[in-house]
């Protein structure tokens, strides 16, 4: 599994081929990131995620919320979510992410991982409701967690540690050729909130 020192090579593409993933590192200071983490924990109307896996409906420990412009429903893994209106906090974070990524987003999936044992298995964000090859910006708040990529054909892997307040942007043909995961770990006991800003097709 390949690793890169991103502090010495800022804005470097993590992927060796077939896509572009840029890790910007922390774009929020520790104090501000903690404020947003605590604020989102109490302000967001969290719900357990319900997915259909191998024909069975599964309720996850991870909690989620879907925000976006009116009418931008999101369907994945047999579940459809209707968007809640943007909060003032989310609009502030959205503006910051748009400024750093150079992309305008119209929706955001927010994930709440209570501890390290909660994660996300291998998948690609390639649903038809998402604009093809559009950027997906991932803002991390709270516990530092490892994030992995795996090429669909060669099975080559790349990993990066997502720090508190950091921004990672997946773009181009990344979702067509790569999967990604947030592997569970018993080494992390603190909470993490991940905001994935997206461009949904209208």
Dihedrals φ, ψ of 52, to 5°?
Answer: -105, 115
Percent of residues, the chain, with pLDDT higher than 90:
82
Q: Reading across the β-sheet that carries 178-182, which strands appear in turn? A: 120-123, 178-182, 145-151, 157-162
pTM for the predicted model, two decimal places: 0.90
Percent of residues, the chain, with pLDDT higher than 70:
90
Give counts: helices (H), strands (E), the chain.
3, 13
Query: What is the pLDDT confidence band of residue 76, given thresholds at 50, 70 and 90?
Result: confident
Summarised one tens digit per residue, pLDDT across range 5-56 is: 444 345 789 999 999 999 999 999 999 999 999 999 999 999 987 766 556 6
Q: Angle, nearest 10°, between helix axes 88-101 and 30-43?
A: 140
CATH superfamily of 20-198: Alpha-ketoglutarate-dependent dioxygenase AlkB-like (2.60.120.590)
Please give the mean pLDDT across all residues of the chain: 91
pLDDT higher than threshold 50 for residue 114: yes
Tell me the average pLDDT across 152-165.
97
Contact criterion met (CB below 8 Å) for 99 and 88: no
pLDDT higher than threshold 80 for residue 57: no
The set of residues, in sequence order, having a beta carbon less than 8 Å from that of 80 and lying 6+ positions away, is 73, 74
């Amino acid at each position: 599994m390949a690793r890169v020192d991103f502090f010495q090579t800022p804005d470097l593409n993590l992927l060796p081929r077939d896509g572009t993933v840029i890790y910007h590192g922390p774009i929020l200071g520790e104090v501000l990131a903690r404020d947003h983490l605590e604020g989102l924990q109490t302000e967001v109307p969290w719900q357990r995620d319900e997915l259909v896996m191998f024909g069975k409906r599964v309720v996850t420990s991870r909690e989620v919320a879907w925000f976006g412009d009116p009418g931008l429903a999101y369907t994945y893994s047999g579940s459809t979510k209707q968007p809640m209106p943007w909060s003032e906090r989310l609009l502030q974070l959205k503006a910051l992410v748009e400024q750093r990524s150079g992309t305008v987003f119209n929706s955001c999936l927010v994930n709440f991982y209570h501890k390290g044992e909660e994660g996300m298995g291998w998948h690609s964000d390639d649903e038809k409701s998402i604009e093809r090859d559009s950027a997906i910006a991932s803002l991390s708040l709270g516990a530092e967690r490892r994030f992995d990529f795996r090429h669909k054909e060669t099975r080559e892997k790349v990993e990066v540690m997502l720090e508190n307040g950091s921004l990672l942007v997946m773009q181009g043909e990344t979702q067509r050729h790569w999967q990604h995961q947030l592997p569970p770990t018993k080494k992390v006991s603190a909470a993490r909130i991940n905001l994935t800003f997206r461009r949904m097709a209208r």
